[in-house]
Amino acid sequence: MRVLFIGDIYMERGREAFDRYFAVVKQRTKPHIVIVNGENIANNNGLTEAIYKDYLTRGVHVFTMGNHAFSRKDANEVLNMDYVVRPANYGEGTPGKGYVTLQFNQKTVTIINLLGRVFMRDPIDNPFTVMDRILTEIKSDYVVLDFHAEATSEKYALAHYLDGRIDAMVGTHTHVQTADEICFPKGMLYISDVGMSGVRFGIIGGEVKQGIRKFVTGVPERVFPENNGPLQFSAVLLDLEQKKIERIAIQEQYEGELHG
């Protein structure tokens, strides 16, 4: 079972990166299941029904979300669509679901989404104990977790906690791909962050001038996307039987970039 997981597709330029590179990556890696982190895929954050339907026809099977799951006015309807998974550690009565199970060739794979608590704003439930509960509820051949979190310490702690209990744990949210992909001792595939698909020279997708101003002055302002410059496409290929993880980072060159 090969799973292609594409990291946070960030707004319009992220969708452009998907348009440009998904087909060629799919052709080379031949995944059985494609998962996209789509919490920022629509302009102004979140996921829309139109994007969801379009991407399903193009070969995406599941969308995972994150701290922007509820950013849109129509979030409740979007989160209730069949193949959208929002963080499982929100409280009871939250719209949507925290995991979904797919069937492929007589095998089942469950995809779970969880939010971290370190340096994150929402007062959510403990991701460790929520995972304990979910693992008593599901009986799948394979389990893949998208842990949407800021801190690598929290990611590594959860990784050690889950090694031997699930098949793969990939991090999202920081928008920066880490080079620490590994198979843990008891067989769980892991990467701290898959990285972002979108503009390459933004401030994790955000507009550069505005981002600098925000940090220079300290005055909070809403983030707008950077619309200029080359693109990047970030993903991992998870081979759940062979227990191999391959990092995929397509990075377009900037015209003025120095080589060598």
Between 2 and 148, CB nearer to Fe ion: 148
CB of 71 to Fe ion, least distance (A): 10
Sheet holding 142-148, edge to edge: 99-104, 107-115, 142-148, 168-172, 189-191, 182-183
Closest CA to 173 of 153, 190, 194: 194
Which residue number, 9 or 162, has a Cβ lying nearer to Fe ion?
9
Structure tokens at 29: 């890696």
Q: Which is nearer to Fe ion, 67 or 140 (CB)?
A: 67
Binding site for Fe ion (CB under 5 A): 8, 40, 66-67, 173
Quote the CA–CA distance of 4 and 166 in Å, as a whole number.
17
Least distance in angstroms from the C-beta of 7 to Fe ion: 8
* Smallest distance, Fe ion to C-beta of residue 76, A: 19
- Phi then psi for 225, rounded to 5 degrees? -75, 150
Of 88, 84, 160, the residue nearest 130 (C-alpha): 88
Quick one: tokens of 109?
């794979």
Taking the complex as a whole, the smallest distance from the CB of residue 183 to Fe ion amounts, in Å, to 26
Q: What is the DSSP letter of 43?
A: T
CB of 139 to Fe ion, least distance (A): 30
The residues annotated as belonging to the active site are 68
The torsion angles phi and psi of 138, rounded to 5 degrees, stand at -105, 150
Residue burial 156-182, b: 16+ Cβ < 10 Å; e: rest: eebbeebbeebbbbbbbbbbebbeebe
- 64 vs 67, which CB is nearer to Fe ion? 67
Q: Closest distance between Fe ion and the C-beta of residue 36, in Å?
A: 11
- 94: Cα within 13 Å, side-chain hemisphere: 16
- Tell me whether residue 31 is exposed, middle or buried, using C-beta atoms within 10 angstroms of its C-beta: 0 to 12, 13 to 18, 19 or more: buried
Q: Determine the Cα–Cα distance for residues 203 and 94; give it in Å rounded to an integer.
A: 31
C-alpha 131/C-alpha 117 separation (Å) is 14
